[in-house]
Amino acid sequence: MADELVDLVMEETRDKMARAIEHVKGEFASVRTGRASSALIEHLPVDYYGTETPLKQLANFSVPEPRLLVVSPFDKGAMGAIEKAIGNADLGLSPSNDGHVIRLVFPTLTEERRKGFVKLVRSKAEDGKVAVRGVRRHARQELEALEKDHGLSQDDIERLEKVLDKMTQDEVAQIDELLAHKEQELLEV
């Protein structure tokens, strides 16, 4: 019984840590580099006939050139609302509308803007690390509860804590790797 509960705690911990990593990846994708990417705008809320709707549900995206993103709305009547949402998002992008599609030209980033983005991704990486450590702390609390309620030995707890620490170190290392890649991408001219 106790072994099944331990396995359950460890599996749940792995899942939560994996979700934290996915969240960090999503956060990094939303930070603009010099290249055009739909990840920057696909979650923008658009006032679509009185309902806040994510842009990805209202349009297709394409990147015909490295610095150009084309937004093709499914409903041409939503063009104005989409343009307004992009304009209000403070992304440094000026939408141009030809009646069929919205074009977004990504200007090259200034050195100051790049450094600001690097600070932002470092902050998001640190938030991810804090989340992973929070998952570890929660798992330790659950293991301690199992020790009291189901008589797990102190040796088992120590062994499992080492496994938890290794999992945490691996996930933090993965976040550091993602951060290094994103920083390199941001500092590319």
Task: Report the CATH number at residue 91.
Answer: 3.30.1360.40
Is residue 90 predicted with pLDDT exceeding 80? Answer: no
Q: Based on the domain organization, do 120 and 172 belong to the same domain?
A: yes
Same domain, 70 and 99: yes
pLDDT of residue 34: 67
Amino acid present at 132:
V
Q: Could you please report the per-residue DSSP string of 87-99?
A: HHT-SS--EEE-S
Residues 98 and 127 occupy one common structural domain: no
Cα separation values, 114 from 1, 27, 110, Å = 53, 16, 6
> Which residue, of 87, 105, 123, is where some domain finishes?
105
Does residue 59 share a domain with residue 88? yes
Residue 180 belongs to what domain range? 2-30+110-187
User: How far apart, in whole angstroms, are the C-alpha atoms of residue 66 and residue 178?
Assistant: 22
State how far the Cα of 46 lies from the Cα of 78, in Å rounded to an integer. 9
Work out how many domains the chain is built from and give that number: 2
- Taking the CA atoms of 55, 57, 59 and 62 in sequence, report the sign of the dihedral they define: positive
pTM over 0.95: no
Mark which of 105, 126, 159 sits at the end of a domain. Answer: 105
Q: pLDDT higher for 34 or 155?
A: 155
44 plus 22 within the same structural domain: no
Where do we find the tokens 């990805």? Answer: 56
Say what the pLDDT of residue 36 is. 74
> Residue 49 and residue 17: Cα distance in Å, rounded?
38
Which is more confident, 169 or 111?
A: 169
Q: Final residue of a domain: which of 81, 105, 129?
A: 105
Give the pLDDT score at 16: 94
Q: How confident is the model at residue 138 (pLDDT cuts 50, 70, 90)?
A: very high
